[in-house]
Amino acid sequence: MMRTSSAFASGLLAVVLVASGVLAAGCTRNVLSHPVSADVYMKEADGEFVWMGTTPYADKNLVWGESCWRVEAPGYARSEEMCAPGGPDTITILYYLEEADVRATAEESSLDIGASLHDARTRFQNGDLSSRQYRRLKADLIWQYIGG
């Protein structure tokens, strides 16, 4: 019923609950997380992830195609991508996020910050990154560069 795009990261757990569309109140996709207030992203087939809101998140839609979901919270490792099939079921995804290790790694010291930031800006200007993604990527690169 559900699949992930890759193996789970250690310490990360997602639980998926599927209810019958007959019994459920509607075709709802619920996304819950620990901690709460994580950003919820969704993409449809051949689409790109778009920000939908924050957890606890619930969205009813008359026609649900296959949709993939992930969540992000500051200070926590990004969740794996979870894809839910289309159809009338009510599906709830629970994410337990692992705290991120923000320590600098050895490879970070060799970061070419100028080229990396330029590349990030190019991706943003080409529309490959949203404003939010661009800001976050820049922050990550800068943080790595200064050995934060």
Partner 1 sequence: MLLRDVLLVVACAVLACACANKTIVSGRPQTAVEKKGEMAIDWQPFSCSRGKLFDGALRIAQRYNLRVDTLEKDSGFIEFKLGQLGVNELTLYTRFPLVSPYEGYALGSYREFVEHYQTEPTGSVDLTFLMTPKENGTTELAIRSHWIARDPGSQTKVSSSGYFEDQLVTELARETGCPMVGRWSRAAQNKLGRLRELGEESLLDGDDYWVARSALLRGSDDED
Residue numbers at the binding site for partner 1 (CB under 8 A): 39, 42, 44, 47, 50-54, 59, 61, 64, 67, 74, 113-114, 117, 131-132, 135-136, 138-139, 142-143, 145-148
- Nearest approach, Cβ of residue 5 and partner 1 (Å): 19
Would you give the DSSP letter of residue 137? H
- Nearest approach, Cβ of residue 32 and partner 1 (Å): 18
In degrees and rounded to multiples of 5, residue 98 shows phi and psi of -90, 140
C-beta of 44 vs 81, nearer to partner 1: 44
Alpha carbon distances (Å) from 123 to 17, 24, 45, 115, 129: 36, 42, 22, 12, 6
C-beta of 2 vs 112, nearer to partner 1: 112
C-beta of 11 vs 47, nearer to partner 1: 47
CA separation for the pair 24, 14 (Å, rounded): 21
Closest CA relative to residue 42, chosen from 66, 74, 20, 19: 66
- Nearest approach, Cβ of residue 43 and partner 1 (Å): 8
The strand pairing partners of 4, in sequence order, are 82
C-beta of 13 vs 35, nearer to partner 1: 35
